[in-house]
Structure 1
Amino acid sequence: MSGTDEPGDPRTPRNPQEPHEPHEPHGLQHQRAPDPSDGAPGRPSARRKGLRQETARTSDGGQRGSVTAEVAVVLPALVVLLALLLGTAHVGTVQLRLEEAARAGAREAMRGESSGTVQQTVQRLAGPTARVRVATDSGWTTVEVTAQVEGPVVDLMGIELTATALGKEEHGG
């Protein structure tokens, strides 16, 4: 055999069954041992010239993008749940506001304020859409405040809340 028998030597005869790799620039050639990840003869190699080609399969078992799909499915449910939680919190705050307004009205009635003054105080605390009823019976004054809950989610439910407070008239002394 003429020349050397080194694998990188261009004078070494090539095995016709091995896939031919193109010559690198400047006449440099590198031959390497067969790699099991390489394709069979006549098929493209998974690695060529030291570069690794990306394949359709990934190391995560083909589940690429599944988290995005799961979030896309779950996100609308989370938005609805958040809206319901915020709506429930809003209903609770409206109920507290009505109870405070009814107590304030009953306190004013106990001090002997007129029914008009009691209604103004209750209306100011409960809001302009609240309905106020003041009733007196045997020295006891009942203040009842009712309001329709308004808000983005709770409007669809038509929730009406009521708060009642009682107070006995004080006798001046």
Structure 2
Amino acid sequence: MATAELALALPAVILVLALCLTGLTLAVDQIRCEDAARVAARAASRGEPGPLVRELALSRAPQRSAVTVSTGEGTVLVVVEAPARDRHLRALPAAVARAEAVLEPGVTP
């Protein structure tokens, strides 16, 4: 009887573990996107060139991330978006982070 209970419970435990690991992966990707957006926004606010800002963001963001840098009146906005890693669960949301910084004095957009 214990063998039958174990045979029924083991797949459920494995499924719960898989869901927990997927959630952890999504959380790590979100944190990496936020870090990448902050670093890129800081660099852009200092007046670093666009390709360097993009490279800084991509070096910290998850693989296959998209980085958008836009400047407005006195501010710079960086958006980093990383698709979900798990290709089997298409319903998972992408990790998206935005960071805005004020341009430092003397920096022109």
Residue equivalent to 1:115: 50
Following TM superposition, by how much is the alpha carbon of 1:139 offset from its aligned partner in structure 2, in angstroms?
1.1
1:16-165 paired onto structure 2 within 5 Å? 66-150=1-85, 154-158=86-90, 159=92, 160-165=94-99
Following TM superposition, by how much is the alpha carbon of 1:116 offset from its aligned partner in structure 2, in angstroms?
1.1
- What runs of 5+ residues in structure 1 fail to find an aligned partner? 1-65
Residue equivalent to 2:101: 167
Following TM superposition, by how much is the alpha carbon of 1:92 offset from its aligned partner in structure 2, in angstroms?
0.3
Following TM superposition, by how much is the alpha carbon of 1:164 offset from its aligned partner in structure 2, in angstroms?
0.4
**Runs of at least 4 residues off by over 6 Å:** none
Q: Report the Cα distance in structure 1 between the residues aligned to 2:97 and 2:89, rounded to whole angstroms.
A: 19
Following TM superposition, by how much is the alpha carbon of 1:114 offset from its aligned partner in structure 2, in angstroms?
1.2
TM-score (norm 2): 0.90
Higher fraction of helix: 2
Q: Which has the higher contact order (CA 8 A, sep 6+)?
A: 2
- What runs of 5+ residues in structure 2 fail to find an aligned partner? none
Q: Report the Cα distance in structure 2 between the residues aligned to 1:69 and 1:157, rounded to whole angstroms.
A: 30
Query: Is the alpha carbon distance of 1:99 and 1:149 closer, same or farther for their aligned partners in structure 2, counting shifts above 3 Å?
Result: same
CA contact (8 A) 2:36 2:80 kept: yes
